[in-house]
Amino acid sequence: MFTQRRLFGTNGIRGLVNKELTPETAIKIGAATGTFFKSGRLILGYDARTSGPMLAKAVISGLNAAGCDVFLAGMAPTPALQYAVKKHEMHGGVIITASHNPPEYNGIKVIWSDGIEISREQEIQIENVFFDDKIRYVSWDKIGVANDLPGVIEDYLKAVEKHVDVVRIAKKQYHVVVDAANSVGSLAAPRLLRELGCKVTTINANIDGTFPGRLPEPRPENLGELAMAVKAVGADLGVAYDGDADRSVFVDEQGDIHWGDKTFALVEKHFLKENAGEKVVTPVSSSSLIKDIADAYDGEIVWTKVGSVTVSQTMKKLRAKLGGEENGGIFYGPHQAVRDGAMSTALILDIMARTGDKLSKLISELPRYFIEKAKIECPEDLKEKVLEKLIEHTKRLNVNTIDGVKIWFKDKRAILIRPSGTEPIYRLYAEAKTQESAEELTKKYHLELKKIIDILRK
C-alpha cells in the first residue's frame, strides 16, 4: 500500500490500522494535507472505529504543524461533517473513516470548502507533497490550534428537515426500524426520525467499533436481522446504514430488502415529476431502471465512471440536483451533492407520506429487471489491451466506454463489462426483462471476452 506514489483510492485513503495506516503515516498525511490547504481552517471528525480517536490525534498534529487550525467535531456521520464544512465556511475538512470496510480498516477523506471530497487533481497535489517530502512545517509562532466544534449533528438534521414536508410525514406516525451497524448512523437517524414524528425501534445502535452486530456494508446478506425486526414489530419501514452513514438500504413493511437502484429510482421518479428536464447523474454501473424513469419523466441521464466522488464532482460541474448509485448512495443537490443517509431516509418517508402508499407498492410500480453477473480471469498486464479490443468489437452498438464497456440493446437488455480495480478479473453485469435473457447475454459476452483474452495471451 501507498506505493507507486498513490495514497488515495476511489474513495479517500484506506488501509489496515497499524499495518498500513499507522500514527506516523497519519501525521505525515495530516502535514501534507495541511501544506495543501496553506494554513486554513479545517473541520475534523471520525466514525465509530476503535482507531478513530488515535488517528484523529495524529492527523490533527500534522495539520497543526503545517499551520492549520482544526475544529474537532468528534464522532459523526460523514455527511454531517461535510455539511458542517460548508455551513461554517471552513477551507476544508478531514474525515477519519473507512466507510463500509471491516473494523480492522480505517481511512482518511479530505473535503473541500463546498463539503465535497477533493478532486483527483487535488489529491495528486497532496500525494506530491507527501512523496516528495515537500511538507511545509511552520515556525513555532504559526502552529495551528485545535478547538472543539459542538452541534454538528443538530445543524445537519435541521438542514435535512428543510427539504421535506415535516408536518405531512409526522401526521402519518410511521414506525421505522433503524439498523445503524453499531456506528455513527445511530447518532443521527433515530433523532431525525423522532423529529419527523416517527416511532423508532433500533437494532445495532450502541456505538461499538468492533462492529459486533453486522458488517458495516449494508448488503442484503447482512440485513436479515433488520428485515426480521421490521416484520416482528409491524413497522412501516426499515433502514440500514453503512459504517459512516452516507449510504442507506431500505426494507419495506413486508420485510423485503430493496437494493439501492430501486430506492434511487423511486426518489428519481418523484424528483422528476416536479423538476422535469433536470439532469440525473449516475455511474454506468447503474440499472436501466434509472434510464427508464428518466425517459418516462423527462429527465436527462449523465453517465459517469463508477465512484461516488466522480458523481459528486460531476454534479458540481453541471449544477445537477440529483445523483445516485446502486449501492444505496443518494446525492440530493439542494441539500448537498454528496451521498447522505439521513437525507435519503427523509426523502423516502416524504414520498411515502405524499403518495399515502406503502414502500412495497411504490417499489412494485417501478419497471422490473433481472440481473445476471459473471467474471472471467484476465492477467493485469492484458486488461488494457482487452478493453481496446472490446471497444473495437462493439463500436457499432449503442455503447458507452467511460468506464469499461456498457452496451444497451433495443429490447431493454444491457451489459456492463469492466475490469476489476483490485483483482485480475473482468466482471460482467447483464440486465434484461427475463432471467433467461440476462443469462444468455452474459454467456455471449463471456465467450467473446474469452476469445479476446486467449488471442492476446498467445
Active site residues: 99
Residue 242 touches Mg ion, criterion: CB under 5 A: yes
Q: Which stretch binds Mg ion (CB under 5 A): 180-188, 190-198, 242-250, 385-393?
A: 242-250
CA distance 136 to 199: 52
- Span of 29-37, 240-248, 270-278, 426-434 interacting with Mg ion by CB under 5 A: 240-248
* Cell numbers at 265, concatenated: 429510482
Closer residue to Mg ion, CB minimum distance, 43 or 98:
98
246, 261, 340, 350: residue in contact with Mg ion (rule CB under 5 A) = 246
Residue of 47, 179, 217, 244 interacting with Mg ion (CB under 5 A)? 244
- Collapse the DSSP code of 118 into the 3-class scheme (helix H, G, I; strand E, B; otherwise coil) and give the result: coil
Residue with C-alpha cell 463500509? Answer: 100
User: For residue 181, what are the contacts with CB-CB under 8 A and spacing of at least 6?
Assistant: 204, 211, 213, 214, 215, 216, 218, 240, 241, 242, 243
Q: Is 24 exposed, middle or buried (0-12, 13-18, 19+ CB in 10 A)?
A: exposed
Using CB under 5 A as the binding rule, whether residue 431 contacts Mg ion is answered as no
Of 248 and 314, which has the nearer Cβ to Mg ion? 248
Does 99 engage in binding with Mg ion (CB under 5 A)?
A: yes
Draw the binding track, 381-410, toward Mg ion (x: CB under 5 A; -: no contact): ------------------------------
Pair type for strands 248-251 and 257-258: antiparallel
**Neighbour tally for 175: CB within 10 Å:** 18
If the CB atoms of residues 27 and 96 are measured against Mg ion, the closer one turns out to be 96
Q: How far is the CB of 308 from Mg ion (least distance, A)?
A: 8
Q: What's the min distance (Å) between Cβ of 111 and Mg ion? A: 14
Stretch near Mg ion under the rule CB under 5 A, chosen from 51-59, 236-244, 266-274, 423-431: 236-244
AA letter at 46: Y
In the chain, how long is the greatest CA-to-CA distance? 70
What is residue 214's DSSP assignment? S
- Interface of this chain with Mg ion, residues 360 to 379, rule: CB under 5 A: none
Query: Cα 392 to chain center, whole Å?
Result: 32
Instruction: Please state the closest distance from residue 216 (CB atom) to Mg ion, in A.
Output: 8
Of 338 and 432, which has the nearer Cβ to Mg ion?
A: 338
Which among 2-10, 97-105, 203-211, 306-314 is the span making contact with Mg ion, rule CB under 5 A? 97-105
Any idea what DSSP says for residue 10?
A: B
Give min distance, CB of 244 to Mg ion, in A.
4
Task: Give the Cα separation of 413 and 431 in Å (integer).
Answer: 6
**Hey, what's the cell of 343?**
437525507
| Closest distance to Mg ion from the beta carbon of 448 (Å) | 35
Q: Which residues bind Mg ion (CB under 5 A)?
A: 99, 242, 244, 246
